[in-house]
Structure 1
Amino acid sequence: MTLVVLDPDGRHTAECPGWLADAGDELHLITGRTGVHPGFARVTVVDRYDRGTAAELAVLDTAARTQVRAVIALAPVDQVRAAGLRERLGLPGQSREAALTLADSVAAHTLLTRAGIATTPRAEVRRVADLYWWAHRWGYPLAVRPRRGPDRPVIAELSDEATLRAAVAAGLVPVDPAQVPSLTVEPAVTGEVRREEGLPLDGVLPADPGHPYTVETVRNPDGRRLVHALRYDPEARPARELVRAQAGVGARFPEVI
């Protein structure tokens, strides 16, 4: 049996063999960092780790050679990749839908709305006309953010139509309609944003000790708190706990949603 460890920058490579010493499985490391990596039965170094499918192909190659028991991934860039591999190989652990919910703000908004959980407004931006449409619908000010990623900071604040036109002229949205930007737009948040780890979200995310998340909420004018964002938060717990939980050592895997 083999445990596959995805670690793009080698941040946890040195500690993983010790953390998993009692698992009784061989360890296969897939990383973008060259060098000596003791404690692993096999090491695959992938060039341009985050810009292709080489990491996924390396996992599938391992699965063709031996029985893979779990795919372990802590880096935010690996969450959807690892979850998709688990589903492809029929392994327990975080599902692709759950991983995508924490990585993609539009997917999260859709799933939260479907579950009847109150959220702040947010919409995908695919073309310049979308910005004008939502400005007409919501008014100003608006905030534009990256759709995906662990941080998703505000990259443009649109206080009125003049600032919208200026942002577009500066290249906020590609002129070529074939190039779809990975952006969202929302009414600018003016109140305090509260961050809470693991706030229960029934019907959206299962309890999962290997994939902690943070829920950001803001207060509505009527006093209710609305969910503003969901984020995978690997810093919320010690890395050792996350690695062991994802390996199924000392913690149950979550149910697949």
Structure 2
Amino acid sequence: MSLLILHRNPLEPFPYDRWLSGYEGDVVILAARDRIEAAGEEVPAGALGRARLEVLDDFHDEALVARRALELAAEHGVRDLIAHHEADVLLAATLRERLGLPGSWSADVLPFRDKALMKQRAMLGGIEVAPHAVPRTRADASEFAARHGFPLVLKDRAGYNSIGLRIMRDAGELEDGLAAAYGAGSPRDDLLIEAYVPGRMCHVDGLVVDGRTVLVWASQYQYDLASYGTDPGARVDLTLDPGDPLTGRLTELTDRILAALRSPGGRLRDHAFHAEIFHTPDDRLVLCEIACRTGGGKVRELLEVAFGLNIGEYATRAHLGLPMPALEPTLRGGPRPEPARMAGQVLLMKRPGLVRAVPEVPTEPWVERFWLYARPGEVIPPAAGSADFLTVTIASAPSRAECERRLRSLGARLEEQTRIETGQTVEVL
């Protein structure tokens, strides 16, 4: 019995030795070199704790990853396969299907990866989404703009981390976006255009075990995800208080979204989820998208501070049928847990230039975790996505209001202590 892990992430946030406590089989990790090195980590040689580690230079070549995964599956007698990154969940499902392995197969995962199918299923379930279309040509996109006006959003149907997402606010930006998207004019069906939804983006994260949602909580970004390349300031993300009227509305809506996207009798029974939902100025909740994996960035660690368990670890253990002690009362039929305290994170994004100074490690007792992804003297590129951070700090507090006050004060200090000199030749580290 062996487990194969497709790993397109840094290594530090995924301590598989601890997560797999009690698993008696062999473990093989097929990892992406660029994601490890981009986090400033050393690439281990051949092993990661108890696991055999194999590193690929090009994880973006899906055919190469699939071929090597199948070879490793045959070589090691793989009986389980998992993937935590959004770019790999459909490939993992396809490989399970080909090998006859337990867990979700491609038809189960596709509604969570194809944003057009996702919105179609959601609408059939009575869930509000933005007006949208799949524009095969520039003319299709221009016609949509004429009907719905500006702003508009153009993005990849299978995108993640806001990579490649364009917000087009007028006709000039529309023409620039369509010129970049369609080039010589060949039709394509991998894009989604949608009307812009105003308001604050909320995210709802949780865990499903044997088809039942056993953990769920709502948080709210205090910034625009898509501004990762232009926002030099501190970006705050916070859990919502139990008594906040939005909390129950968001979790109830997420239950409905999951029900709408799951197929009756499907194989998607044990998984984490990360939903992004707009709260509009006129108090509507509008689905942006949902994924059947944990939230990216430091959402796992943020919720670990709030709940005392890591959703990534528990999603892994649920898939393998391993004990999940912190959720035992809920698994026996009890209510879903509530957070022991509020938690939040303050982020600074990478921006291009020579790093002259970085923040000091915060010492406040309410600071739970701190990460720094650059050193003085380095020349760094711009942020490549909404999870390409310069620094991340996670803090806790008895209430959301106090947590936000702490994070904003800390964020201002981190901004002051950071100095990046622009105009330098940028080399990817």
Q: TM-score range by the shorter chain?
A: 0.7 to 0.9
Q: CA deviation at 1:194?
A: 3.2
Q: Is the 8 A contact 1:71 1:246 kept in 2?
A: no
Q: Is the 8 A contact 1:127 1:173 kept in 2?
A: no
Kindly tell me: are residues 220 and 126 of structure 1, through their superposed partners in 2, closer, same or farther at Cα, counting changes over 3 Å? farther
Return 6-15 or 116-125, whichever deviates more: 6-15
Q: CA deviation at 1:209?
A: 4.9
Kindly tell me: are residues 227 and 26 of structure 1, through their superposed partners in 2, closer, same or farther at Cα, counting changes over 3 Å? same
- Pair 1:35-2:95 in alignment: no
CA distance in 1, matches of 2:13, 2:74: 23
Kindly tell me: are residues 17 and 188 of structure 1, through their superposed partners in 2, closer, same or farther at Cα, counting changes over 3 Å? same
After superposition, give the CA deviation of every residue in 1:127-181 in whole Å (9 maximum; x if it has no partner): 211121112322333222333222336413133x34433544xx33223233637
**Could you list the runs of 5+ residues in structure 1 that have no partner in the other structure?**
252-257
Q: Is the 8 A contact 1:144 1:183 kept in 2?
A: yes
Q: Is the 8 A contact 1:140 1:158 kept in 2?
A: yes
Kindly tell me: are residues 74 and 165 of structure 1, through their superposed partners in 2, closer, same or farther at Cα, counting changes over 3 Å? closer
- Pair 1:145-2:202 in alignment: no
Counterpart of 2:272 in structure 1 is 211
SS of equivalent residue, structure 1 residue 195:
strand
Write the mapping of 1:77-96 to structure 2, written as runs, cut at 5 A: 77-96=87-106
- Pair 1:243-2:316 in alignment: yes
TM-score, with length taken from structure 1: 0.80
Identity across matched positions, percent: 23
SS of equivalent residue, structure 2 residue 57:
coil
User: AA paired with 1:243?
Assistant: T
Q: CA deviation at 1:41?
A: 5.5
CA distance in 1, matches of 2:196, 2:13: 40
Q: Is the 8 A contact 2:271 2:319 kept in 1?
A: yes
Write the mapping of 1:11-160 to structure 2, written as runs, cut at 5 A: 11=11, 15-33=15-33, 34-36=43-45, 37-40=47-50, 42-152=52-162, 154-159=165-170
Kindly tell me: are residues 62 and 13 of structure 1, through their superposed partners in 2, closer, same or farther at Cα, counting changes over 3 Å? farther
After superposition, give the CA deviation of every residue in 1:11-53 in whole Å (9 maximum; x if it has no partner): 2597213322411111112113353224346433323012232
User: AA paired with 1:225?
Assistant: L
CA distance in 2, matches of 1:166, 1:55: 34
SS of equivalent residue, structure 1 residue 50:
coil
Q: Which one has the bigger strand percentage?
A: 2
Q: CA deviation at 1:210?
A: 3.1
Kindly tell me: are residues 125 and 215 of structure 1, through their superposed partners in 2, closer, same or farther at Cα, counting changes over 3 Å? same
User: AA paired with 1:228?
Assistant: C
Higher RCO (CA 8 Å, separation ≥ 6 residues)? 1
After superposition, give the CA deviation of every residue in 1:173-197 in whole Å (9 maximum; x if it has no partner): 2232336374321112123333333
Match of 2:183 among 175, 198, 211: 175
Q: Is the 8 A contact 1:146 1:152 kept in 2?
A: no
Q: Is the 8 A contact 2:137 2:186 kept in 1?
A: no
CA distance in 2, matches of 1:8, 1:212: 18
**Could you list the runs of 5+ residues in structure 2 that have no partner in the other structure?**
34-42, 207-253, 304-309, 325-429
Counterpart of 2:286 in structure 1 is 226
Counterpart of 1:196 in structure 2 is 204
Counterpart of 1:255 in structure 2 is none
CA distance in 1, matches of 2:184, 2:143: 19
Q: CA deviation at 1:204?
A: 1.2
CA distance in 2, matches of 1:157, 1:84: 35
Kindly tell me: are residues 38 and 177 of structure 1, through their superposed partners in 2, closer, same or farther at Cα, counting changes over 3 Å? same
User: AA paired with 1:19?
Assistant: W
Q: CA deviation at 1:9?
A: 4.1
User: AA paired with 1:158?
Assistant: R
Q: Is the 8 A contact 1:174 1:181 kept in 2?
A: no
Q: CA deviation at 1:82?
A: 1.0
SS of equivalent residue, structure 1 residue 17:
helix
CA distance in 2, matches of 1:76, 1:146: 13
Return 125-134 or 38-47, whichever deviates more: 38-47
CA distance in 2, matches of 1:150, 1:192: 19
Kindly tell me: are residues 38 and 164 of structure 1, through their superposed partners in 2, closer, same or farther at Cα, counting changes over 3 Å? closer
